[in-house]
Amino acid sequence: MTAYLEFDQVCKFFPGVKALNGVSFSAHAGQVHGLLGENGAGKSTLLKILGGQYKPDGGGLLVDGKQRHFGSASDAIAAGIAVIHQELQYVPELTVAENVLLGRMPTRFGLLDKPKAHRLVADKLAAIGVDLDPGARLADLSIAQRQMVEICKAIMQDAQVIAFDEPTSSLSHRETEILFRLVKELRADGRTLIYISHRLEELYELCDACTIFRDGRKIVTHPVMAEVPRERLISDMVGRELSDIYDYRTRPLGEARLQVQGLDGHHVDGPQSFSVRGGEVLGFFGLVGAGRSELMRLLYNADARSAGNVLLDGQPVPTGAPTDAIAAGIVLCPEDRKEQGILATASVAENINISCRRHDLLGGLFLRHKREAALAEEFIARLRIKTPNRQQEIRLLSGGNQQKVILARWLAEPGLKVLILDEPTRGIDVGAKNDIYRIIHEVAERGCCVIVVSSELPEVLGISDRVIVMREGAICGELARAEASETAVLALALPDTAAPPAAAAAAANAPAGAATNINTQYPSRSIA
């Protein structure tokens, strides 16, 4: 077997950072080659070079034995390379067919030949087994469906190399199965596939070989993925040993501090009640669209509630705006870090101080720049935030480090009582995950309530003292740590209540099989 795609001593420098430092490895046709590494290790930069978005500062790449230099993304496409980025690139107002054939629409007498376009795309979609209407607008599709459109586009362009950058980070269980099947078919078709993911289970299921990155360098290439033990992968990625990434320790639990009584509102199905004890980590699990984030937003006053009360230490929490929840000691790290969490163009220090500074003003009015700087430095060190300095714009940090900055913002609140984390580790590497779990436990040990909403079942089971499961907008069950197994939690989370737990779990784990209609299977949320 020959190497179809070869990277040769690729270097890429940004001011102050060596994003890639002499990286060489090769990927073979008919294989899925996984790329692993913490955020900021250089994987995405490598994909951008492959896709022609960045020019390497040194080294180059060979496709099918020929040296290639891409001046632009269209050069890469012409060379048969398609990169499917984490943030999908499409025109929301155009139809599936128009997006797939963007820039190459068939014409007839100088006019667009829409029927032909629809036929072409419908054929291709059918060939890869995806049930989608070529005339549907992209804006009306789920993220998973948009991803399928992107893949279809790559196949239409006859791409021999297809690279995926964390394709499953916003997919539901079932959508992921469909993606996997498609990737496997492309492999069987003899294409060269590059696959980036932070989820080790996925990499073991899909990849034939893998390369591990750390700090812009290639650490090692494993030619046979299946032979590499999990611990080895993690220690290669992180550069240190991580025995148990969840770091769970039993804590003494206090009285019920947070009591949510009959909370109801948009996207929540009927009044919901639960309570959290002091020092407790409460996990919220459910499929995408089960209403977990919405319930948390109601609790945080981010959305208006139609009914219900929130009591903290017996006192009612004022409704109104998030400010009121924060004043009472309830804080939220939102699900969509980029759109709702970070103040993208502001500095790391500004992002940390935005809320807590109100407690420490000179004469109740003026900022204390020195104290703010010191506070920022303290948290950068304590949470191991990787940033050149505190003045760095937060948007230039990796996802894990952005999340730590948001956490720092709330840990800096002197009156913190309830910490709500919505998908705290989505798109974050193992090392930073471990740091975040450590912080969660520290906060709980201080006697605070911690609520963790997550779609990653191992994570929920790993860190929680208790798990609440939501389904279709309502709380449908509650399990103590001892009784919360994967099977038990999934049995509650899946919509089919009639099936016995074991069968339901099996159904969730089984491959999608013939059922490929991703329109109807599970509620999937589209990007707002």
Partner 1 sequence: MNVSSLTPTAAPTAAATRALQRKWLVEYSMPLGYVVLFAVLAATVENFFSVANVVGLMLSVAQIGMVACTMMLCLASRDFDLSVGSTIAFAGVLGAIILERSGSVALAVGGGLAAGALIGACNGVLIAYLRVNALIATLATMLMVRGLAFIVSKGQAVGIADESFISFGDARIAGLPLPVIVVGICFIVFGILLNQTVFGRNTLAIGGNPEAARLAGVRVERLRVWIFLLQGLVTAMAGLILASRITSGQPNAAQGFELDVISACVLGGVSLQGGKARMFGVLIGVLIMGTVENVMNLLDVDAFYQYLMRGVILLAAVLLDQLKTRGERR
Residue type, 223: P
* Binding test (CB under 8 A) with partner 1, winner from 18, 85, 114, 481: 18
- Residue 303: CB minimum distance to partner 1, A: 11
Among 69, 104, 108, 358, binds partner 1 (CB under 8 A): 358
Q: Single out the residue of 11, 102, 302, 476 in contact with partner 1 (rule: CB under 8 A).
A: 302
143 vs 356 by CB, closer to partner 1: 356
Closest C-alpha to 277, from 251, 248, 254, 300: 254
DSSP 210-264: EEEEETTEEEEEES-GGGS-HHHHHHHHHSS--S-TT--------SEEEEEEEEE
Q: Which of 112, 224, 321, 506 binds partner 1 (CB under 8 A)?
A: 321
Residue 274's contacts (CB-CB under 8 Å, 6 or more residues apart) are 260, 282, 468, 475, 478
**323 belongs to the binding site for partner 1 (CB under 8 A):** yes
Is residue 13 at the binding interface for partner 1, with CB under 8 A as the rule? yes
Q: Is 378 in the site for partner 1 (CB under 8 A)?
A: no
* Spatial contact of 160 and 4, defined as CB atoms under 8 Å apart: yes
Q: Is 40 helix (H, G, I), strand (E, B) or coil?
A: coil
Query: Residue 88 has which token pair?
Result: 């999908």
Q: How many CB atoms lie within 10 A of CB 472?
A: 13
Candidates 86-94, 108-116, 155-163, 321-329: pick the segment binding partner 1 (CB under 8 A). 321-329
Q: Tell me: does residue 202 bind partner 1 (CB under 8 A).
A: no
Query: Look-up: residue for tokens 């209540």?
Result: 497
Minimum distance of partner 1 from residue 377's CB (angstroms): 14
- Window 382-401: residues binding partner 1 (CB under 8 A): 384, 386, 388
Distance between CA atoms of 22 and 58, rounded to whole angstroms?
Answer: 8
How, if at all, do strands 272-277 and 209-214 pair?
A: unpaired
> Which residues face 449 on adjacent strands?
418
Is 357 a binder of partner 1 (CB under 8 A)?
yes
What is the closest distance, in whole angstroms, from the C-beta atom of residue 368 to partner 1 in the complex? 10
Could you say whether residue 345 binds partner 1 (CB under 8 A)? yes
Phi-psi region of 137 (alpha: psi -120 to 50; beta: other; left: phi over 0): beta
Q: What is the DSSP annotation of 379-408?
A: HHHHTT---S-TTSBGGGS-HHHHHHHHHH
Min dist CB 325 to partner 1, Å, is: 8
Q: Is 340 in the site for partner 1 (CB under 8 A)?
A: yes
Considering only 28, 33, 198, 409, the residue that binds partner 1 (CB under 8 A) is 409
Stretch that binds partner 1, among 122-130, 164-172, 317-325, 498-506 (CB under 8 A): 317-325
Residue at token pair 């010191």: 374
Could you tell me the smallest distance in angstroms from the CB atom of residue 332 to partner 1?
6
The residue within the footprint of partner 1, chosen from 109, 229, 249, 366 (CB under 8 A), is 366
Q: Compute the least distance from the CB of residue 324 to partner 1, in Å.
A: 9
Query: Nearest distance from residue 367's CB to partner 1, in Å?
Result: 5
How far apart (Å, rounded) are the C-alpha atoms in residues 224 and 222? 6
Q: Are residues 509 and 496 in contact, defined by beta-carbon separation less than 8 angstroms?
A: no
Residues binding partner 1 (CB under 8 A): 13, 15-18, 215-216, 239-240, 300, 302, 321-323, 326, 332, 334, 339-346, 350, 354-355, 357-358, 361, 365-367, 384, 386, 388, 409
